[in-house]
A and B are shown apart, each in its own frame.
Chain A
Amino acid sequence: MNKMIVLQISALIIVSGSLGGLLVFTDVYEEVHSGIVSVLCLSCLKLEPKTKTDFTFETAYGEPHPDFVLDNLTKGVVFLHYSEDACPGCDIMYPVIQNLFNITFGKEDMVYKVFSFEDLDVAYFYTNIDHASEEMENSFPIYDKDHISGLPMFAIITLGYNKDIIRPYYTTVYGTLGLDSDKDRISLLTELMQESIDIYNQNREGYNPDQR
């Protein structure tokens, strides 16, 4: 009986101490909160968001566009790619994006690259939510157009004419885009890029990033 009490007390001290230690000395609470609870797990849902490619001026929660987007819009279209470490959809889309833009990078990297697409500069930002800076992480909900909160997410931001002002105009697509093959996915993203570039070219002259 005494042995049992010793065992119970030891086990209680170990689990309580470990739990306390994890909460105090590590960021696991934040990791679970931001990586599992706040981001919708599409694979747990067994669902994919319907792909809606319509462009809009309104950010998801009425938040202003971040500075890094507004500044890069002076050069060309902005492409934002959001991902996380453990995400089957992200793993499917990862090579699609690499093929589309002909770039290579590590899954946990933060990537910012400007390259030419259809003779226009495209600023590409890859953000892994598990390793992102605060600024990049905060931009994730801003472009969550359909209020999905799921990953992977891709936002293409161009310029549009609205209420006498040239303003950022964007669309967001999610998951594996509701398509079965990489070829179809590349084709859809290419179409969206081309459409964004056409709209950008029509409006670029009147854009002033300070006119927010």
Chain B
Amino acid sequence: MEFQIKRLLSQIFIFFSANLGALGFKTGFCYPFFYCNSCPAATSACPLRAIEHSVYKGSFKWRLLLFPIVILGFFGVTSGRAVCGWACPIGLLQRGTGKIARKLKKYPLIKKIGNHKIEPYLRYVKYVTLIGLVILTTALIGFMFTDICPVGILTGTIPTLILYPSKFVPNPLFWVALVIFILFLVLIFTVERGWCRYFCPVGAILAPFNKISLLHVSLVQREIFEKECLHCNACLNACPMGIDVINMNRDPECILCGKCINVCPKNLIKFERG
């Protein structure tokens, strides 16, 4: 499990790097993951906020639209959704809550929800969120997604209210965002990586890059795999994204966490370059 400790250290390191704004270090880059620029310690901009700025109320600032997309694209082409598994602070949070979600899976109701036939289709919600709430609603009406975003509540609102309790009061969307935040908590405590699976618009941008990324998770040669696989389902059970690892081929949901590689008793799954 040394590999998973390395991944944890990477997530912790990136979390602190994302918060160097506390020391006055601020950049003009966008984060390649989901983190709020209104966090008092933020160093960079939320990629979704930059996209929203670019299309706000019908305006079109192509540079602001392209900038977060090429930053995410760079990470996507090199390592697919590895950012979700190795860098995203919300991924780090879900790494913690995932353990509870895994335990709750034993309860029949939770198991039933997880195995429901509509579950695979729910994964498309993140694409609808990206196009509908981040782009179309912003272009036609005004900011929507980042105004009710649960990650904003977690990384922006709560730290701000703790640091400056008497400086701010809730705005009209605060209570809507709070309800969504509570649902977000319920989700990540009941479904492992529930936010990444179903709702994260940054994941929706990164996911298609898994199809062409230089680094990806793959099975050994098919013939060897079929001959040697014990069908123990250890990989399937270990995968935090609920991927059918045995049948996967550059799955857009894979976050390259390497858990399937670690648990395979026959070492039939590996990281591959190219």
Contact = CB atoms under 8 A, between A and B. Distances in A.
Interface of A: 4-5, 7-8, 11-12, 14-16, 18-19, 22, 26, 28-38, 40-50, 85-86, 88, 91, 146, 148, 175-176, 178
A41 B38 contact: yes
A12 B146 CA distance: 29
Interface stretch (B7-15, B25-33, B93-101, B182-190): B25-33
Contacts of B173: 43, 46
Nearest to A46: B174
17 contacts: A8-B274, A15-B76, A18-B70, A19-B70, A19-B71, A28-B28, A33-B27, A37-B37, A37-B45, A42-B171, A46-B174, A47-B169, A47-B170, A48-B168, A48-B171, A49-B169, A175-B171
Contact of B26 (A14, A33, A175): A33
Interface in B129-167: 142-143, 146-149, 152-153, 156-157, 160-161, 166-167
B212 interface: yes
Given A38-B26, A41-B37, A22 B67 contact: yes
A14 B77 CA distance: 10
A32 B30 contact: yes
A12 B214 contact: yes
Nearest to B250: A4
A176 B28 CA distance: 27
A14 B70 CA distance: 9
A47 B174 contact: yes
B166 A50 contact: yes
A148 B40 CA distance: 11
Given A18-B66, A32-B67, A88-B147, 14 more contacts: A14-B73, A28-B63, A31-B64, A32-B28, A36-B45, A41-B37, A45-B156, A46-B171, A47-B170, A50-B166, A50-B167, A86-B52, A91-B57, A91-B142
A9 B264 CA distance: 31
Contacts of B52: 86
B160 A26 contact: no
Interface of B: 21, 26-30, 36-38, 42-46, 49-50, 52-53, 56-57, 59, 63-64, 66-67, 70-71, 73-74, 76-78, 142-143, 146-149, 152-153, 156-157, 160-161, 166-171, 173-174, 177-178, 212-214, 274
A44 B156 contact: yes
Nearest to B48: A44
Contacts of A175: 171
A37 B44 contact: yes
Given A8-B77, A86-B53, A86-B59, A49 B70 contact: no
A27 B179 CA distance: 38
B38 A44 contact: yes
A205 B253 CA distance: 72
Given A19-B74, A28-B63, A36-B53, A8 B167 contact: no
A21 to B, nearest CB: 9
